[in-house]
A and B are shown apart, each in its own frame.
Chain A
């Protein structure tokens, strides 16, 4: 019978292979330049895998130091994932100045509210603060992704398939982390192998979603990109839009005066 630890090691090896596969795909598609923070995040996960493997197999540190170093690398990875989220939101919404300005405030507010709520709801001793903090951050990231997608849907802002996949992968991983940690929080020590295994499994699912998106990136992005226009044409179109806006404004005023019984 396969030991749980062997199963976990196999899952870890498979996850690292997928990470490398995605890394190669990103390089081949030259997506590192388009999504530099996502590229940096993926690189950090690969380096983290190497560092943690070296730490647990060959390191001569005591248990506490090993734990601290492992969590430090996790902190870097989580921080970079948060940056990926900012990169994603910027890519989706920043083309629309007014919407982006409003979305930035809203997303920051959602993130702060969820993070603080999670910390307030958390029980336990101060030693659990880091773990609870990470869970709060994961929950906040998931809430921000969902809010951003709902925001984009409401205003009919197009989100291309790569951006959707990126959002889905990040969100599902974060949600799974929260559920996994919350359910196993009380019995973490007894089920630490199971906890780690589920964590790796959910990350592998996200990696598969991203690999598929990167593989199909060229077609989806080609559809989403607007055609380039000359400055002269842009000037003409801009003037046309302005004229129509002024006409619209006149119509609205007429409309208002006709309809408004109080005026």
Chain B
């Protein structure tokens, strides 16, 4: 059998797998739009990122070694790593919530820009990969600072996209409600 035939058959079998995946029921129940939007008013874990990074810094506990309390230093570092892992779980949950909101906005939006949607898909993949990487780094006791900064940047990037999307929807809503209104008015500005 030639290589092209093998490739075609493999692609066909891959499609069967993807079909089965696409037909699975969603992981969780679909939340009503208002519930999802309400989630935006909650306090954000991202805001506490500097405290977590500070707590994980070796210098923060290094003085214990100088005073001869090595065991205490190690216990403290272990505890802080555990807290950081929990923080990471919350951060991921928060990110998923933002993605959920962005999907909801996409469903309501009269216009989607393919490149922006693609960026978001890539962003969520990158975020999931970074989270997994960071989790392993923490478990192995390695320094995770660059990873945390990267995750924080990703979350900020998603927020910016959401802001743009909701501005577009609000503008479209106002235009449809008041056809005489100028298209240049920026609703998101107030």
Task: Name A residues whose Cβ lies closer than 8 Å to a Cβ of B.
Answer: 96-99, 101-102, 105-106, 118, 121-123, 135, 139, 142-143, 145-146, 149-150, 152-157, 164, 168, 171-172, 175, 178-179, 182-183, 185-186, 238-239, 241-242, 244-246, 248-253, 255-256, 258-261
- Which of chain B's residues has its CB closest to A171's CB? B19
Given B9, B11, B107, B117, which contacts A157 in the complex, CB threshold below 8 Å?
B107
Bound CA–CA A171/B5 (angstroms): 19
Q: B residues within 8 A CB of A102?
A: 112, 114, 117
Main secondary structure on A side of the interface with B: helix
List, in ascending order, chain B residues with CB within 8 A of A255's CB: 40, 44, 159
Judge if B37 is at the interface, Cβ distance under 8 Å: yes
Instruction: Judge whether B26 and A245 touch: CB under 8 Å.
Output: no
- Whether the Cβ atoms of B187 and A246 lie closer than 8 Å is yes
Question: Once bound together, how far apart are the Cα atoms of A242 and B162, in whole Å?
Answer: 16
Most A C-beta atoms less than 10 A away, residue of B22, B103, B106? B22
Contact A249 B170, beta carbon cutoff 8 Å:
yes
Contact B19–A256 (Cβ < 8 Å): no
Judge whether B15 and A146 touch: CB under 8 Å. Answer: yes
State whether B177 touches A242 (Cβ < 8 A).
yes
Q: How far is the CA of A261 from the CA of B155 in the complex (A)?
A: 12
Q: How many residues of B contact A (CB 8 A)?
A: 53
With CB as the reference atom, state the residue of chain A lying closest to B101: A248
Total A-B pairs, Cβ < 8 A: 140
Q: If the complex has contacts A244-B37, A252-B166, are A156 and B103 also in contact, measured as CB distance less than 8 A?
A: yes
List 7 additional A-B contacts (Cβ < 8 Å) besides A146-B18, A183-B9: A98-B112, A156-B26, A157-B107, A179-B9, A239-B177, A244-B37, A245-B173
Instruction: List the B residue with the shortest CB-CB distance to A177.
Output: B12
B125 to chain A minimum Cβ distance, whole angstroms, is 12
Given contacts A248-B166, A255-B40, contact A123 B22 (CB under 8 A): no
The answer to whether A98 and B110 touch (CB under 8 A), given A121-B8, A153-B22, A245-B169, is: yes
Please give, as numbers and ranges, the residues of chain B lying within 8 Å of A183 by CB-CB distance.
1, 5, 9
19 A-B pairs in the complex with CB atoms less than 8 angstroms apart: A99-B106, A99-B107, A102-B117, A105-B114, A106-B114, A139-B11, A139-B12, A146-B19, A149-B19, A149-B23, A153-B26, A179-B9, A182-B8, A241-B108, A251-B40, A252-B162, A255-B44, A256-B156, A260-B159
Q: Which residues of B127-182 are within 8 A (CB) of A?
A: 155-156, 159-160, 162-163, 166-167, 169-170, 173-174, 177
Query: Contacts of B1 on A, CB cut-off 8 Å?
Result: 183, 186
